[in-house]
Each structure stands twice: as structure tokens, then as C-alpha cells.
């Protein structure tokens, strides 16, 4: 696997690592297939991203993507930051190997999720109550793998495209066909 010098620089010397205390918005995404997880936190002032920090668990490409996305976003208006796409991220890094392009998606998605979280807070929308049982169906439910929104009754994550089903033991969404529930650890093969 060949990485550009810029990818290697951002992997070896990542910028803006950490979490912002009292962040205005937080976005978390992940890819259950490769195991990459990214969390972005933002501070907003006068409709601009005053600060952007990230925490990433994943490969070198995922870390490099998180670092460059944070640099690209700082100082931008919220609308400008929402226009950062996976293509722009990959181009900014001088390209990524085909099997690592999904990382550029995750970086842009995590930033966008943090901005959406900020916008919801500004509208006064409350976050779901911790520990409250989530149900599949038309009600808004989030993927346990990347925290993305689920689409319709099919319970497919709009972000990571994982198909989910309700655990008969705890009632929370878990990956369809999984042997054990990601929440309660119950054996799902027993039915």
C-alpha cells in the first residue's frame, strides 16, 4: 500500500487531536467492517468553526483523514464545512489507495455529524434520554456501530449501510445475522 508524503505527514504528526471541552457539537461515525471510529468535536463562533478536534481509532489513513479534515474545516463557515466531501479530502491528501477511500467518507461524515449536532442544539432539540430503550420502526433510531440514522422499517443505517434487527433480549438494534448482541451480549442464534 503506497501513501503520499502528505498522508504520512498527517498520520505521523496529526493536527488537532483531542476533544473540545464544552463542545458546541459532537459527531461520531464508524465503519463496522474495517473498525475505524472517528469522533469530531467543534466550537462555533459567529457561524464559523472556531475550533475542530478529533479522536480516531483506526488505520493510518483514518488518522490522516481526520487530521486533514480538521485543518480544512477550521475557520470555515458551517455551510462551507458542510461542502467538504470525500473526494475533496482524498484530493487534498494527494490521493488514497482504493481500499482506503472509505476513510475519507468517514472524516467528512464525522465533521458533518458534529455540525448537525450543533444545529439541533441551536434549535433546542433534545438528545435521547441515556439508557432509554430504542425501538426499530418509524421512530428515529441510530446505528450502534456509527451512530448514523436508520432508514425506515428496514432498519438500514443511512451512514454505514449496515442492516440491523431488534435484539429479542434487550430490544436494541444490533447487526442482522450477528451471533451476539453488541449491547447485552446475548446469544442471538438461540432465537
pLDDT tens for 60-108 read 888 888 999 999 999 999 999 999 988 888 888 888 777 665 565 678 8
CA distance 128 to 93: 36
Alpha helix stretches (DSSP H) within the chain: 5-12, 60-73, 78-82, 86-92, 101-123
pLDDT for residue 25 is more than 90: yes
Interhelix angle 60-73/5-12, rounded to 10 degrees, is 90
Cβ atoms of 161 and 149 within 8 Å: the answer is no
**72's grid cell:** 480544512
User: Would you give the distance in Å from CA 116 to the centre of its chain?
Assistant: 12
More confident residue, 189 or 139: 189
Catalytic residue, from 59, 103, 167, 184: name it.
103
What's the full length of the chain, in residues?
A: 191
184 is catalytic: no
User: DSSP per residue over 45-101, as a string?
Assistant: ETTEEEEEEEEEES-HHHHHHHHHHHHHHTT-BHHHHHT--HHHHHHHTT---GGGH
CA distance 164 to 161: 9
What is the pLDDT confidence band of residue 130, given thresholds at 50, 70 and 90? Answer: very low
- Does the domain at 5-123 match CATH 3.90.1010.10? Answer given as yes
**Positive/negative CA dihedral, 43, 48, 50, 51:** positive
pLDDT for residue 8 is more than 70: yes
pLDDT for residue 181 is more than 90: no
Q: Could you give the residue range(s) of every CATH 3.90.1010.10 domain in the chain?
A: 5-123
- For residue 134, what pLDDT is reported? 42
34 is catalytic: yes
Share of the chain above pLDDT 70, in %: 69
Lowest mean pLDDT among 45-59, 63-77, 88-102, 150-164: 150-164
Global pTM reads 0.63
- For residue 84, what pLDDT is reported? 92
Q: Write down the mean pLDDT value for the chain.
A: 78
CA distance 134 to 109: 23
Amino acid at each position: 500500500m503506497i501513501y503520499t508524503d502528505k498522508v504520512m505527514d498527517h498520520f505521523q504528526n496529526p493536527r488537532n487531536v483531542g476533544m473540545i471541552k464544552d463542545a458546541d457539537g459532537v459527531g461520531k461515525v464508524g465503519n463496522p467492517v474495517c473498525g475505524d471510529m472517528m469522533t469530531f468535536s467543534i466550537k462555533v463562533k459567529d457561524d464559523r468553526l472556531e475550533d475542530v478536534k478529533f479522536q480516531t481509532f483506526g488505520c493510518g489513513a483514518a488518522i490522516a483523514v481526520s487530521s486533514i479534515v480538521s485543518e480544512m474545516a477550521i475557520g470555515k463557515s458551517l455551510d462551507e464545512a458542510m461542502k467538504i466531501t470525500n473526494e475533496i479530502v482524498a484530493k487534498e491528501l494527494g490521493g488514497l489507495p482504493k481500499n482506503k477511500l472509505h476513510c475519507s467518507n468517514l472524516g467528512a461524515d464525522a465533521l458533518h455529524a458534529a455540525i448537525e449536532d450543533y444545529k439541533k442544539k441551536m434549535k433546542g432539540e433534545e438528545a435521547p434520554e441515556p439508557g432509554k430503550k430504542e425501538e426499530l420502526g418509524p421512530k428515529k433510531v441510530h446505528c450502534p456501530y456509527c451512530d448514523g440514522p436508520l432508514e425506515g422499517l428496514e432498519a438500514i443505517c443511512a451512514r454505514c449501510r449496515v442492516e440491523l434487527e431488534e435484539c429479542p433480549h434487550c430490544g436494541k438494534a444490533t447487526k442482522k445475522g450477528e451471533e451476539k448482541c453488541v449491547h447485552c451480549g446475548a446469544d442471538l442464534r438461540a432465537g
